[in-house]
Each structure stands twice: as C-alpha cells, then as structure tokens.
Amino acid sequence: MWVRTDVPGSEVVVFDDSAGLHARGWQNALDPLPYALTYEVWTDSRWATTRLVAHAEGAGWTRDLDLVREGDSWTCQVDCAGGSSLASFDGNDLRPSAPPGIDDPASLRGLVDVDIGGSPLTNALPVHRLALLDAPPGHKARLASVWVIPPTLEVTASAQTYTVRDGGRIHYGDATTGVDVGYDDQGWVDSYPGLAHRVAST
C-alpha cells in the first residue's frame, strides 16, 4: 500500500511475481477530481507487459480500457459513459478533455512497459525487466512507455530515463527535472518524492 503525497489518495496492490507479474491494483485519488481506478496488469516471464485492463469511475461517469500487446503491436478497446468534459492532470499541466485509449495504436509500436499515472507499482516494471538494481551506479536506460493517464485513461507514448544511483535509488527523469526513487531489495518502490510513499507490505 502506498499513500499519495502530491494529492489526497492511495494505492493498494496484490500481485504474483513468481513468473513475471500478474497484479491487481486499486487507486483512489483527487487528481484533478475524485476518482476510483481498478486495474489488472500481466507481463510475460521477462517482465514485458502483455495486457492492461483498467476501469475508472467518478460522479456520473465511467471509463474502461483494455490494452493488449502481441509482438511489437498493441490493440486498444475502450468504453466510456458520461463526463464529456472530464480532464486529467499529468503532473505538470491540466490536459484537455480526452476519451480513453489512443487514436493511433501504431504509435505504441515496439513499446513494452505500461506506466499508469500516479501508480508506484508500474514504476517497477522496467526496473525488473532491465534488472536495473543489479546494474552499477551511473548505468542509464532510456526508453518509452505506454502511459495511461487517470482518470480519463487517455493513452500516449512517454519517453523516460532511468539512471542507477547507489543505495537502491534510481533517478527517474532527466538531470534537472527528475527525482531519485527509492526501491527495496525486491525491486518495489519504497518512496517516490513528490508522488507517494509505501506504508505497508507483506
């Protein structure tokens, strides 16, 4: 369980990581309005994401998203009801109202990680897939992820950089705007400055 530090909210996740990852998560936040998000994510044995199913809802609206990766390509199924002016906050700016999903799934070709906005869980996916906690300090990985932005569940490609620090920390972002995210020895986020910190685990 993580508690958000940027806005009122939390996330609880149950998972099986015995052969890749299968996780179910529950996210609640006021970002930029109250919403509840449930999701389920699967990876293959190499920790490359194969599917994400997500459902978000709030007062008078719902959004549903089903993303599936086969090879280098993604397919996207969506549904929505109400909330025609629903918008989302991307951490820097309020984004214009958008439907769930993405207009051109081909723009996601070759991407293998999903990143759910506000979710510490999904920040662990490339860390596991690339074994970054086993890499020496200074090692850098540049990649793009499939970014799913609550509460609209708009999908876009997001360029990301992970730079290994010492002490179980990985710098996320560039040299001037990023943060040092703390991970435990199992590769799960302990603290994400400006976003969330973990309060419980088993």
pLDDT (tens digit per residue) in 21-39: 999 999 999 999 999 999 9
The whole-angstrom separation of Cα 143 and Cα 154 is 20
State the chain's mean pLDDT as an integer. 95
Which comes out higher in pLDDT, residue 174 or 79? Answer: 79
Percentage of the chain exceeding pLDDT 70? 99
Count of other CB atoms within 10 angstroms of residue 185: 8
Res. 81: pLDDT tops 70: yes
Question: Do the Cβ atoms of 121 and 89 come closer than 8 Å?
Answer: no
| pLDDT tens-place string over residues 140-195 | 999 999 999 999 999 999 999 999 999 999 999 865 679 999 999 999 999 999 99
| pLDDT tens-place string over residues 97-128 | 999 999 999 999 999 999 999 999 999 999 99
Q: From 201, 202, 200, 196, select the one nearest 10 (Cα to Cα).
A: 196
pLDDT band with cut points at 50, 70 and 90 for residue 44: very high
Sign of CA dihedral 111, 115, 120, 122: negative
pLDDT reported for residue 176? 60
Does this model's pTM top 0.85?
yes
pLDDT reported for residue 91? 85
pLDDT reported for residue 202? 77
pLDDT band with cut points at 50, 70 and 90 for residue 92: confident
Helix (H) or strand (E) holding 156: strand 154-164
Res. 90: pLDDT tops 90: no
* CB-based contacts of 98, cutoff 8 Å, min separation 6: 87, 88, 152, 154
Phi, psi of 125, rounded to the nearest 5 degrees: -65, -55
